[in-house]
Structure 1
Amino acid sequence: MNEFCAAASGGPHRNLDMHMADPYLYSVNNHVATFSINAAPWNLMTIDYIDRLEEQLPDVLADDNVRAIVFTGEGLDHFSAGMNLKQIPEGVKRAGSPEAFFTQRHRVLDMIENGGTPAIATLFGYCLGGGLELPLACHFRLAADNGAQIGLPEMDLGSVPAWGGSARLPRVVGRDHALDMILRGRKIDGAEAYRIGLVNELVAVDAIKERAQVIGEEIAAQPRQAVKSMLDVIVGFEQRTLAQSLSDEAVAVTANLATADAREGMMAFMEKRRPVFNQ
């Protein structure tokens, strides 16, 4: 059975209450929804965390009031040291088989990546195993400029990434960087993550959540249908030919030509003012 995440020392796993009442905290502010793992300081991803995400995400993605999503963790010590390894037997029992257990995680991350709402992840402290695999399914990633340890160290536990890490990481940073991180079990800092294109920005750790909110609000102010159209065109482009992507773009252009937001954008341009979308 393959699962593994995180701090290979096992230290974070010893004293966790496996039955937290609230595996994450959820809020919506200025059209930006935030899921914050509620298990500081290590913010391990419990089976209840994944179960609740799978249950709630469809409603969040269908909510017109939510135009961007932030994934973060409580406190400022660690985004997530990954899965609580002690819970694997219970998780397999709930799911019915090891395959079903890991397939559920793929379903949840696929919803994040392909759900049509831009997702932003904050990487600070430990971002290991599942604590990197979930951000890899997001569309924007911010890293703390100091103290981040980012990686897929499953090799140190005699296994391999199980939440899509070996599939998504090469698509983000390229084959060579992915092999270097995974086969050597390397943990990289925020500066290196930025250098290889794993994250979009470096931010001071005490400002990283605020910065994620600001980016979410910037996206929320853009025309919602146009944002979704661009996600449809760009996400997963690696699996499509250029001709297919061009065809997808043409469909998006046609779908957005006659929208109220398109009219508002043109009028704002002519009137030399800022457009107000999503009215």
Structure 2
Amino acid sequence: MNRTALLIPHFNNPTGLCASLASIGEVEQIDVYIVDDGSTRVTINEDEVRAVFKAQGALHFLYLPANCGIEYALNTGLEAVLAAGYDYVARLDCDDVVAVDRFAKQVSYLDANPAVYLLGSAVTFFECLPDGSQRDCFTIHQPQTHQQIVRQMHDDNAFTHPTVMFRVAGVREIGLYPLDCKAAEDFAYFWEFVKRYQTANLPEVLTKSEYNDAGISMSRRRQQQAMRLKLLARHFDWRANSAIKLAKASVSYVLPLSVTRALKRGLGIGKWN
């Protein structure tokens, strides 16, 4: 068993799952927990998945009997990781690809910084073109220091979910992903780390994620924005910055996406979404 486990939820996307696993470098020492969230249209071929995985680690397949939602899939995986006794757990989604040494770099940082319990990185979003190729769209550089992260969390998530690695010791204290923040379970979960521990983001792009209008952030925008408001109110600290960010999120919630995108372009504010 390795020190680090990688948690990947899966739903009807074995091609994306294989692409993600194939991107992991051969020298990486990491075990992978794949949690199928009740796929009905396209199921996992375990032999094909094993064939593309070249890293030094074991693959574990967990199957939910029905489609329950990503937070349930994540928690099923976390329970297995907790029971096995890993030091770290990383995240990735199907279709996302990683730098060949992403996990080694994150483990090295966390080993050298024992006070840091949650670590992310910069991320580049790409789109798939009709000819099968990919084109990079934009890169998000999340705040790097804990102080910057705290400020950002009063506006929006300071971590891009598929980029993170966190300590299992933190999971033992905090618990599993919350079930009352659908489409924003990561934002809610990471707030608990930020409140209790030091956190950080690496400046390097260690993960690339697919960007499309079918993603949770787009197809479930209304629900996600409502959960964002809920979380900003939950963590409101009575400072001016917190009040401003809560007001901004309220405006973003009531306006159509086309209007907020126009505001983003016109004002040059990268976090209007």
Q: Which has the higher strand share?
A: 2
TM-score scaled to structure 1, two decimals? 0.28
Q: Per residue, is there more helix in 1 or in 2? A: 1
TM-score (norm 2): 0.28
Structure number with greater Rg is 1
